Amino acid sequence: MKRTITISAALLALGASLCGQEITQEHKERARMLVSQMTLEEKINYIGGYRDGFHIMPVERLGIPEIRMADGPQGVRNNTKSTLFACGAAAAATWNPETVYEMGTALGQDSRARGVHILLGPGLNIYRSPLCGRNFEYMGEDPYLASTMAVSYIKGVQSQGVMATAKHFALNNQEYDRHHVSSDADERTMHEIYFPAFKAAVEEAHVGSVMTSYNLVNNVHAAENPYLIREVLKGKWGFDGFVMSDWTSTYTALGCVKGGLDLEMPRAFLMNMDEIRPLMESGAISEREIDEKVQNILQSLVAFGFLDREQKDESIPEDNPYSREVAYRMACESPVLLKNNGILPLKSGKKNSIAVLGPNADRIPCGGGSGKVDPIYSISLAEGLKQLGKQYHICHLSASEGRDYDSEENISVLKSAGTVIVSVGFDTETEKENSDRTFSLPQGQDELIEFALEHNKNVVVVVYAGGGFDMSRWHDRVSAILLGWYPGQEGGLAISHILAGTVSPSGRLPISIERHLENNPTARSYYPSEPKTKRGSTNRSVTYSEGVFMGYRGYDRTGVKPLYPFGHGLTYSHFTYSGLEVTPSGDGFDVSFTLCNDGKHDAAETAQVYVGAASPCVPRPVKELKGFSKTFVRKGESARVTIHLDREDFAYYDTIIKDFTADPGIYTIMVGASSEDIRLSSEIKL
């Protein structure tokens, strides 16, 4: 019996030595001294962005340096080329918090190499529908998975002396009309589904800053929303870092001051002398309220050591070998093998020539908007396949457009190939910030897959996307489908190794993929209902009427089957699950079971633990993810896995007591390979 889990002990130790950005009384006191020495004008100037909109201004006479920010989340952007990592959705698809911690660490190092103090990531909005243009930046549909990954990412970034930013708080689940749309959800839904990743970022990872969202939440702009900022973030969760607005998302100076916003970005359109002085003169706001904001910013900067050292670390190269290595590992661990009829791993040899084509074969696409990073270098799938070596006979079919493949020469290559790989998906233009995307693949791509199928029955589809997409036209006819997300600069090489079997596929879906868009539990509540006349014709609202029943929670409720369920992902091996034991431990339970790799390949299995209440007193999901473990097991070997459940893993948000509570009663513990593939279960009494 053997259990092997990847643990990067050295890195965790390094992180621990640099960690410690928790804001102490000492930090607060030092900040208070600084605030007391600032003039009113200096203080008001301090609470708005500066220069190019990615800086906080210096106060030289007090030794406060200029602070530099950069996006986030999948690389360091803004006036620089840098390592392009796998996107947020891909990070969640690794189901490996240690790898994500390393990604954060590498991002922290890339920031230090460039003198960046504050990285504008991670993106922690929950995947509600495949249509949201920024899903690729976020960490999937499940609050537990997203929280776990958020904590790892933030701890990694902050371990290097760089402040992370949890964004966009809150309910920024669509890009459509994002400046005007109000995301309207009930309190329980917000606390159970849309808040937990932010809560974990604050309480467990001690994130330094939080960015509000563009949208309104329950009719109040997020940047001016006292419920979100004062009551929940600073009140309930005790956040003592600082809150910045998203870029141009403020509407009134009074709302910003009263709502609890600390820093207006990209500059002080409203929190400036002209707007604030009359409000102070009329008594609507006091100087203390301004001091509080400056205090929150400064105590965070002090805690991160920004007043005491140079942020640029000359010893770290901009093209950091460690970052490249982590980017490669992320790209190996995140692609999800959705379907495989046995065609993969690719067979080598002259007889199995491999034709590769498609709009994404020659490049590594990335989602667009502020999350777009220009890599120092990248490797495409076609190049990666060629690097596999001479034993693979690769024919790269190129064309000036997705539809110009139709030449006699290309058709004859397709006909004679042993396997055809079609690389499709979205890119900077078709999946991006500030607009939503289509469920169908970009124009002409379904036709391209069908064209390949016309000439060869052994078609493998590699898709780059930030979420689910429509496969209905060709799904049943292709031999394999690999979802690569946006895998980052090393994606072409990593995916080639996965296709060839030198790297075992181990990504799992952090989302459910619907067969048809209308099956998605939010299909009728994604687009705004009628415009609300009281706010004028441009202001609309989206009512999250599905409540907590989104993603797999929604599918479980209706019994509709997704095409690929949450947690799904094939390996080249086969695992059996046995020997479930659930034993009381502390105030919770230890869930133990055995994974046996009885297939023909070494592989990692991601076992998932779900909890469901037998007779809940409020409507609750049939099951909810509360633990998981990615375990590497050699072929023929077994591993015993233990996952601990705390009492809070049985809890729901009780709107009467305004907190989470776990009712006594019977609960089912389910262990499986996806939300639809439960292999073991047992009942416990709480």
**CB of 300: closest distance to ligand BGC in angstroms?**
17
**CB of 370: closest distance to ligand BGC in angstroms?**
3
Q: Does 175 bind ligand BGC (CB under 6 A)?
A: no
292 or 433: whose CB is closer to ligand BGC?
433
**CB of 87: closest distance to ligand BGC in angstroms?**
13
Is the preceding peptide bond at 205 cis, omega within 30 degrees of 0? no
Closest CA to 601 of 345, 352, 346, 384: 345
Name 182's bridge partners.
Answer: 216, 541
Could you tell me the two tokens for 432? 């991006």
Phi first, then psi, for residue 292 (nearest 5°) are -60, -40
| CA atoms of 34 and 59, how far apart (whole Å) | 10
End-to-end Cα, the chain, rounded Å: 32
**CB of 165: closest distance to ligand BGC in angstroms?**
7
79 or 472: whose CB is closer to ligand BGC?
79
Residues of span 18-47 touching ligand BGC by CB under 6 A: none
71 or 184: whose CB is closer to ligand BGC?
71
Residues of span 191-250 touching ligand BGC by CB under 6 A: 246-247
| CA atoms of 338 and 334, how far apart (whole Å) | 12
Neighbours of 287 (CB within 10 A): 12
User: Coil, helix or strand for 622?
Assistant: coil
Q: Annotate 150-161 with DSSP letters as a single string.
A: HHHHHHHHHHTT
Q: Does 370 bind ligand BGC (CB under 6 A)?
A: yes
Among 64, 71, 92, 639, binds ligand BGC (CB under 6 A): 71
Residues of span 106-125 touching ligand BGC by CB under 6 A: 120
Query: Inter-axis angle of helices 143-159 and 97-114, to 10 degrees?
Result: 40
Length of the chain: 686
136 or 549: whose CB is closer to ligand BGC?
136
| CA atoms of 431 and 136, how far apart (whole Å) | 8
Q: Does 456 bind ligand BGC (CB under 6 A)?
A: no
**CB of 243: closest distance to ligand BGC in angstroms?**
14
Q: How far is CA 684 from CA 522, 556, 611, 612, in A?
A: 32, 21, 10, 10
Task: Evaluate whether 427 touches 360 at the Cβ level (below 8 Å).
Answer: yes
Beta-carbon contacts of 121 under 8 Å, excluding residues fewer than 6 positions away, are: 71, 72, 73, 74, 88, 107, 137, 153, 157, 164, 165, 167
**CB of 643: closest distance to ligand BGC in angstroms?**
34
**CB of 369: closest distance to ligand BGC in angstroms?**
7
251 or 660: whose CB is closer to ligand BGC?
251
How many CA atoms, within 13 angstroms, populate the side-chain half-sphere of residue 369? 19
Closest CA to 138 of 88, 85, 83: 88
78 or 629: whose CB is closer to ligand BGC?
78
Residues of span 125-154 touching ligand BGC by CB under 6 A: none
164 or 307: whose CB is closer to ligand BGC?
164
**CB of 183: closest distance to ligand BGC in angstroms?**
15
Phi first, then psi, for residue 326 (nearest 5°) are -65, -40
CA angle 572, 574, 576 (to 5 degrees): 160
**CB of 435: closest distance to ligand BGC in angstroms?**
12
123 or 468: whose CB is closer to ligand BGC?
123
**CB of 540: closest distance to ligand BGC in angstroms?**
19
Query: Inter-axis angle of helices 445-455 and 408-416, to 10 degrees?
Result: 60
66 or 637: whose CB is closer to ligand BGC?
66
If binding means CB under 6 A, how many residues of this protein chain bind ligand BGC? 7
**CB of 132: closest distance to ligand BGC in angstroms?**
13
Beta-carbon contacts of 371 under 8 Å, excluding residues fewer than 6 positions away, are: 71, 72, 73, 74, 77, 87, 123, 134, 136, 137, 433
627-656 footprint of ligand BGC as x/- string (CB under 6 A):
------------------------------
How many CA atoms, within 13 angstroms, populate the side-chain half-sphere of residue 596? 8
Closest CA to 513 of 464, 571, 471: 471
**CB of 354: closest distance to ligand BGC in angstroms?**
39
Q: How far is CA 641 from CA 250, 474, 667, in A?
A: 49, 38, 21
Torsion-angle region of 559 (φ positive above 0: left; ψ -120 to 50: alpha; else: beta): left
Could you tell me the two tokens for 317? 């190269």
49 or 521: whose CB is closer to ligand BGC?
49
Q: Which entry of 184, 246, 436, 470 is annotated as an active-site residue?
A: 246
| CA atoms of 612 and 644, how far apart (whole Å) | 16
Residue at shortest CB range from ligand BGC: 370
Task: Evaluate whether 74 touches 366 at the Cβ level (below 8 Å).
Answer: yes
172 or 631: whose CB is closer to ligand BGC?
172
| CA atoms of 361 and 542, how far apart (whole Å) | 38
126 or 513: whose CB is closer to ligand BGC?
126
Phi first, then psi, for residue 414 (nearest 5°) are -60, -45
Closest CA to 465 of 510, 515, 527: 510
167 or 557: whose CB is closer to ligand BGC?
167
**CB of 57: closest distance to ligand BGC in angstroms?**
17
Closest CA to 420 of 476, 372, 357: 357
| CA atoms of 220 and 524, how far apart (whole Å) | 23
User: Coil, helix or strand for 70?
Assistant: strand
User: Coil, helix or strand for 659?
Assistant: strand
Among 68, 114, 128, 167, binds ligand BGC (CB under 6 A): 167
Phi first, then psi, for residue 381 (nearest 5°) are -65, -40
- Catalytic-residue membership of 659: no
Task: Name the residues that contact ligand BGC, by CB under 6 A.
Answer: 71-72, 120, 167, 246-247, 370
Catalytic residues: 246
